[in-house]
Amino acid sequence: MEVESAKLIAMSIAAGLGVLGPAIGIGMIGGKAMEAIGRNPEASGKVVSNMILAIVFAEALGILAIVVSFIIKFV
């Protein structure tokens, strides 16, 4: 196996597994937020703002995984 092909395989594994966790987390955040809004509609403003903040933090981990995968490819 050549070095370049090993880098591409490592890049795809790092990106795929690195984005899988945040994707599951964002789905759980959204589901729990909708459940909370369904139970208490008056608090939807606070729930939505906290939900967006949590999604941003989870998405940052996915972006970090993609950056690491590009570092694997180009270094």
The total domain count for the chain is 1
Q: Which pLDDT belongs to residue 23?
A: 94
Q: Which pLDDT belongs to residue 35?
A: 97
Digit-by-digit pLDDT tens for the chain (75 residues) are 899 999 999 999 999 999 999 999 999 999 999 999 999 999 999 999 999 999 999 999 999 999 999 999 898
Q: Which pLDDT belongs to residue 68?
A: 94
Q: What's the domain range around 15?
A: 3-74
Q: Which pLDDT belongs to residue 45?
A: 94
33: domain CATH number is: 1.20.20.10
- Ramachandran sector of residue 2 (left: φ over 0; alpha: ψ -120 to 50; beta: rest): beta
Give the tokens for residue 60.
């940052």
